[in-house]
């Protein structure tokens, strides 16, 4: 594989890590909102939007780490 291709994959992995952290942080911020807290109190679970942000952030983070570390 060409050297520029490896560096491109590492940059993509780093970008996915940053996006994953951003999505998780965004989900955390939304989970603290009044509407989300009321919904969480009534249903006992997070809203769908918060869960999608957490899951999307986790998947993006894991794939990014894999791409960055892979040789």
Rg (CA), the chain: 16
- Contacts from 50-55 at CB under 8 Å and sequence distance 24+? 51/27, 52/27, 53/23, 53/24, 53/26, 53/27, 54/23, 54/24, 54/27
Predicted pLDDT at 28: 92
Predicted pLDDT at 47: 85
Chain-centre distance for alpha carbon 7: 22
Predicted pLDDT at 1: 54
As a whole number, the mean pLDDT across the chain is 90
Higher pLDDT, 22 or 6: 22
Predicted pLDDT at 53: 95
Per the structure, the complete domain to which residue 11 belongs is given by 3-69
Q: How far apart are CA 23 and CA 59, in angstroms?
A: 10
Instruction: Specify the number of domains making up the chain.
Output: 1
Higher pLDDT, 2 or 58: 58
């Amino acid at each position: 594989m060409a050297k520029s291709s490896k560096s491109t994959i590492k940059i993509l992995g780093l970008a996915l890590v940053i996006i994953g952290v951003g999505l998780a942080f965004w989900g955390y911020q939304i989970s603290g909102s009044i509407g989300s807290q009321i919904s969480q109190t009534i249903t006992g679970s997070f809203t769908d939007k918060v869960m999608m942000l957490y899951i999307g952030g986790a998947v993006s983070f894991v794939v990014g780490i894999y791409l960055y570390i892979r040789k």
